[in-house]
Amino acid sequence: MKKLTRIAKHAACALGWMAYLGLGFACPGVSAQSGAQAVPTPASVLGHTPGDDFYLASYDEAIGYFHKLAESSNRIKMFTVGKTTRGVAMELAVISSPENLAQLDKYKDISRQLTQARGLDDAAARSLAQQGKVVVHIDGGMHSDEVAGGQHSIALAYRLVSAQNDPEVDAILNNVILVLWPTLNPDGQNEVVAWYRKNLGTKFEASELPDLYQEYVGHDNNRDGYMNNMLESQQITRAELEWNPEVFYCQHQTAPFPTRIFIPPFVEPISSNIDPILARWLNLFGVNMAAYLDEHQMPGAVNRVGFDNWYPGFQDFTGIFRNSISFFTETALYAYATPHFYTVEDFPKDYQPLTAQVFYSSPWQGGWWRLKDAVDYMVGASMSVLDLSAKNRTELLYNKYQAGRDNIERFQKNPPYAYVIPREQRDLPTAAKLVQTMMTNGIEINEAAKPFAANGKTYPSGSWVILMDQPYAGLVKELFEVQIYPELRQSPNGPPIKPYDVSGWTLPMQMGVDVDGVLQPVPAEQRANLRTLTQFTMPDGTVQGAGPVYLVSHQANSSFRALNGILAAGVQASFATKAAEGGVEPGTIVVTGPTRERIGEIAGNNSLAVHSAAKAPADLVATKKPRVGLYRPWTPSIDEGWTRWILEQYGFAPVTLRNGDIQAAHLLERFDAIILPDSRQSNILNGFGPGTLPGEYVGGIGRAGVEALREFVQGGGTLIAFNNASIFAIDQLGLPVTNVLAGLKDDEFYCVGSLLRVEIPDASRPGAWGMPRDPVVMLERGPAFAPKANFRGAVIADYPEDVNPLASGYLLHPEKLEGKAAEMEVGYGEGRVYLFGFRPQWRGQSQGTYKLIFNAIYDSPNVAKPTTFPKPPTPPAVPAAAKPEGGEKTKADQKPAKPEDPDDDPRLER
């Protein structure tokens, strides 16, 4: 209760707010500071005030303004942190008092010492907390069509830098070091603003951007928090580890209508790996923010609806496992900078009486909603965070130390005491990537200089060991342990309360890496044999044996990068089709021609152990570099972006196929394999509806596209369909396959983002080469398959009979999956269709199933002909594209195209 009494009363700052809100209060000297030149207003530089109707500042323009601010004032310094995916410099501003800015290194060091919580006792930590300043991260958001965030950063910077005789701002500048990112996605802000300007004043003014506003992952840029696959995520995480913010606050839009801003506390459930004090602080920041907004005549804030924080990969939440109080808010949005008028009749029925609720005590009454309103709410919300931080400086600093200290103590007394990542792995380079991922997250990693004994085993030297008595150990446990999503139901026997995102993500399972938890304390003599890594390096490659034939295992993902490089250079390569002596397995890559030096280089670049032999195995099939087409709809497809990114990483060089490219037919002349990323069937067929966007972006592949794909497969091409695109392939090509999950209600079957164990019935099939017997797959709102009569093909992966396949997360009614197929290869004419019912490349995390994609691409009849199906007497019957079989498709077709979410969830915009 002590803390709660600190919820602020802000009467003293009303004058500053009147000035900011433009209420006619003219403060003498508001634009000039002693010792510095005049502080420019945003309007004087940009020609507009952020929040003006129909105006948005681009990132480049915003940065221009920030530089002008920095030239005019000693309250702000600019720093460049790195490049975006599209090559733009990512910058942040640090705002504080001139005295604090003059001693930034000292304050960063205090924050670092408190965060690490080592070499300090409580008294020393108290003393440091008294000397230190609270570091607060605030940003302009990362979802670039949530446009107010990037405008708010300009307004917030101006308010803090220009304020005079404002006790609230003075207290903030004296006690807080604000790390202000104009936006976390510069590329997207530039792109969205250009799109809006192009359409402004036309009937497409509010139209959706027909592109991913982060080059590869669009909206999923807030799902990359712990993987840091994208450059932007890496910059954000690196800066967080450098500045060690006590508070991390990210701006989003949009609030659940008609509320004006969603604010924490979040809804259940919560991870047990979060420090309890920080979880309390998070709630306090939220409740304080709502009170602050009400106090400043900004009604309509709501807490505790819709958004949970179960998934730790939200970029604006991962930091809480590094003991930074991390959260986001969602401010209302109409469309871009276009204003909109709402009446109470527009509200959902429940909200029309305007009744006060516990966490919605100032219901919004309707009226105009302008960009300026959203900007004001965001500036208010940010000010409340800064104000509360300033008032609780010492406690926040000390509590961060306390969280690190308690984590260290917790894992000195409780298991797991450590995790071991052995060097003996099916896919060592991927295991090394797991280690690298943890290091990027600020986790301390050791390498065993001598054999390491634990769990009654001896791990060879070189094994990686994560000792858990470290300040961010909660993040390791969160990512390595099995998730048990709680049984939350809407009513005792009713459907489950859905997680906002996925329910399970256990990273070693997803990556197919063996990791052992250590259940006994690690004795001092074992610790003495560990060396802490200061820098990560991938394992060396090796070439062993003698002879002109080189054998590369099919088990490592990076073997495909090597293979693609070898084939692109014109060197001959084959796959072994049968096991043979010398460790040859079905799928072993056999290379002849290059010099040993060249092979050594390739092995080194891909961390591969290559074996050389005197002669090649007898059973071989020659291959060539597959030509891969990747369908890219105008409705921005996050799955397409992730797929493109992964294929590029592994050297597949996919070619983008737009609707017209598919409709142009003759696909077999250009491609061996074509991938349809996860999408609703209606989306692939129809795309954006007529009149919703300029004509060139409207429509899907339509009937002509279906016919072109049919011709491609019948002629010998390989079509690969991910997740719900499988339904499209089944219906439109008339494949003899049923989706056994079709039509099931949430209380009949439920699995949204869980890890399930499947089995590979026949590892000698090319589609399954290199896979372990029982890999783990990510099932996220996808189908499961059963063959119909006349089925010609093979099951690549299935859910075992009489076994609950749940490995991590949540699964209701597992019996619906038992004995059903998770991935199938279906013969069709001369070609084949690979149907994936799961997410084989989910967010760049499910690396344990990448090979299933790579295999499907290489198993194109034009590339390698290792297996054929017995041919049926006639090709399967094909319904017309306009009249597909299956009720599901008809239903889906009646719905408008909706790009992101293959489910029907009215998902909010986090």
Burial letters for 49-81: b for 16+ Cβ neighbours within 10 Å, e otherwise?
bbbbebbbbbbebbbebbebbbebbebbeeeeb
Burial letters for 104-131: b for 16+ Cβ neighbours within 10 Å, e otherwise?
beebbebbebbbbbeebeeeebeebbee
Give the interface size with Zn ion as a residue count (CB under 5 A). Answer: 4
Q: How far is the CB of 631 from Zn ion (least distance, A)?
A: 26
CB 708 within 8 Å of CB 662 = yes
Q: How far is the CB of 222 from Zn ion (least distance, A)?
A: 6
Residues 6+ apart with CB under 8 A from 435: 421, 445, 464, 536
Residue (137 or 393) nearer to Zn ion, CB:
137
Residue (317 or 472) nearer to Zn ion, CB:
317
Residue (252 or 554) nearer to Zn ion, CB:
252
Q: How far is the CB of 225 from Zn ion (least distance, A)?
A: 13
Q: How far is the CB of 803 from Zn ion (least distance, A)?
A: 39
Closest CA to 401 of 106, 110, 108: 110
Residue (385 or 563) nearer to Zn ion, CB:
385
Residue (143 or 304) nearer to Zn ion, CB:
143
**Count of residues making up the chain:** 910
CB 495 within 8 Å of CB 745 = yes
Residue (33 or 185) nearer to Zn ion, CB:
185
What number of CA atoms fall less than 13 Å from residue 431's CA on the CB side? 22
By CB under 5 A, which span of 140-148, 841-849, 863-871, 883-891 interacts with Zn ion? 140-148
Cβ of 531: how many Cβ atoms within 10 Å?
11
Closest CA to 835 of 659, 716, 678, 717: 678
Report how far apart, in Å, the C-alpha atoms of 487 and of each of 491, 824, 904 are: 11, 32, 22
By CB under 5 A, which span of 75-83, 153-161, 247-255, 859-867 interacts with Zn ion? 247-255
Which one among 75, 143, 498, 710 touches Zn ion, defined by CB under 5 A?
143
Q: How far is the CB of 145 from Zn ion (least distance, A)?
A: 9
Q: How far is the CB of 380 from Zn ion (least distance, A)?
A: 19
Residue (322 or 910) nearer to Zn ion, CB:
910
Which one among 133, 137, 223, 252 touches Zn ion, defined by CB under 5 A?
252
Residues 6+ apart with CB under 8 A from 618: 578, 580
Closest CA to 777 of 749, 791, 756: 756
CB 230 within 8 Å of CB 217 = yes
Residue (143 or 832) nearer to Zn ion, CB:
143
Residues 6+ apart with CB under 8 A from 570: none
Closest CA to 639 of 902, 860, 315: 902
By CB under 5 A, which span of 143-151, 481-489, 716-724, 821-829 interacts with Zn ion? 143-151
Antiparallel, parallel or unpaired: β 609-613 and 542-545: parallel
By CB under 5 A, which span of 201-209, 248-256, 419-427, 898-906 interacts with Zn ion? 248-256
Q: How far is the CB of 909 from Zn ion (least distance, A)?
A: 5
Q: How far is the CB of 910 from Zn ion (least distance, A)?
A: 5
- Cα–Cα distance for residue pair 792/788, rounded to 1 Å: 9
Closest CA to 501 of 817, 838, 907, 216: 907
Q: Does 223 bind Zn ion (CB under 5 A)?
A: no
Strands ordered across the beta sheet of 530-532:
516-518, 418-421, 464-467, 446-448, 530-532
Residues 6+ apart with CB under 8 A from 198: none
Residue (214 or 437) nearer to Zn ion, CB:
214
Q: How far is the CB of 518 from Zn ion (least distance, A)?
A: 39
Q: How far is the CB of 451 from Zn ion (least distance, A)?
A: 48
Burial letters for 398-436: b for 16+ Cβ neighbours within 10 Å, e otherwise?
bbbbbbbbbbbebbeeeebbbbbbbbebbbbbbbbbbbb
Residues 6+ apart with CB under 8 A from 102: none
- Cα–Cα distance for residue pair 54/166, rounded to 1 Å: 31
CB 380 within 8 Å of CB 292 = yes
Structure tokens at 50: 């952020």
- Alpha helices by DSSP H, listed for 86-147, are 98-102, 104-116, 122-131
- Cα–Cα distance for residue pair 606/652, rounded to 1 Å: 15
- Cα–Cα distance for residue pair 643/628, rounded to 1 Å: 12
- Cα–Cα distance for residue pair 719/728, rounded to 1 Å: 12
By CB under 5 A, which span of 135-143, 287-295, 523-531, 847-855 interacts with Zn ion? 135-143
Residue (143 or 839) nearer to Zn ion, CB:
143
Residue (222 or 237) nearer to Zn ion, CB:
222
Residue (146 or 859) nearer to Zn ion, CB:
146
Q: How far is the CB of 83 from Zn ion (least distance, A)?
A: 23
Residue (250 or 741) nearer to Zn ion, CB:
250
Q: How far is the CB of 252 from Zn ion (least distance, A)?
A: 3
Q: How far is the CB of 233 from Zn ion (least distance, A)?
A: 15
Place of tokens 């840029």: 221
Structure tokens at 845: 């995390």
Residue (266 or 728) nearer to Zn ion, CB:
266
Residue (188 or 312) nearer to Zn ion, CB:
188
Residue (254 or 682) nearer to Zn ion, CB:
254
Contacts to Zn ion from residues 144-173, by CB under 5 A: 146
By CB under 5 A, which span of 251-259, 340-348, 453-461, 800-808 interacts with Zn ion? 251-259
By CB under 5 A, which span of 101-109, 245-253, 458-466, 565-573 interacts with Zn ion? 245-253
Place of tokens 């983002």: 753
17: left (phi over 0), alpha (psi -120 to 50) or beta: alpha
Q: How far is the CB of 262 from Zn ion (least distance, A)?
A: 11
Residue (820 or 910) nearer to Zn ion, CB:
910
By CB under 5 A, which span of 137-145, 268-276, 306-314, 350-358 interacts with Zn ion? 137-145
Q: How far is the CB of 500 from Zn ion (least distance, A)?
A: 12
Q: Which residues pair with 757 in a beta bridge?
A: 776
Q: How far is the CB of 250 from Zn ion (least distance, A)?
A: 8
By CB under 5 A, which span of 13-21, 139-147, 497-505, 559-567 interacts with Zn ion? 139-147
Q: How far is the CB of 368 from Zn ion (least distance, A)?
A: 23
By CB under 5 A, which span of 186-194, 246-254, 557-565, 772-780 interacts with Zn ion? 246-254
Q: How far is the CB of 908 from Zn ion (least distance, A)?
A: 9
- The secondary structure element, H or E, covering residue 613 is strand 609-613
Residue (818 or 909) nearer to Zn ion, CB:
909
Q: Which residue ranges make up the site for Zn ion (CB under 5 A)?
A: 143, 146, 252, 909
